[in-house]
Amino acid sequence: MTTSQHPGPADDLPIRDGMIRLGQALKLANLAEDGAQARALVEDGQVRVNGEVETRRGRQLHPGDVVAAGGAAVRITAAD
């Protein structure tokens, strides 16, 4: 299996609202440089949410969700 399927420990990605879209989270976490790269990663099946391949860039993420791409992972958390 590749590292993108089994990334290392997830870093926290705090969000102010109770939800963030997948494409926004990829950019905020520096897993994608811009929206075009985020779209390409998602469309190519290179992004996993909670261990499952996700192909919807607009997927809503909530605190507790884990996003992995390119061998890195982030856990969505609520900002204090």
Within-domain flag for 28: yes
What's the pLDDT band for 80 if we cut at 50, 70, 90? confident
| Arithmetic mean of pLDDT, 48-72 | 97
For residue 2, being part of any structural domain is answered with no
Burial label for 80, CB within 10 Å (0-12, 13-18, 19+), is: exposed
CATH number (domain holding residue 55): 3.10.290.10
Confidence of residue 8 (pLDDT cuts 50, 70, 90): low
- What is the extent of the structural domain holding 33? 11-78
Q: In the chain, where does DSSP find H-type helix?
A: 22-28, 35-43
State the pLDDT confidence band at 4, using cuts at 50, 70 and 90: very low
pLDDT of residue 71: 92
* 35 within domain boundaries: yes
What would the pLDDT profile of 14-58 be if each residue is shown by its tens digit? Answer: 999 899 999 999 999 999 999 999 999 999 999 999 999 999 999
Contact 50, 66 (CB under 8 A): yes
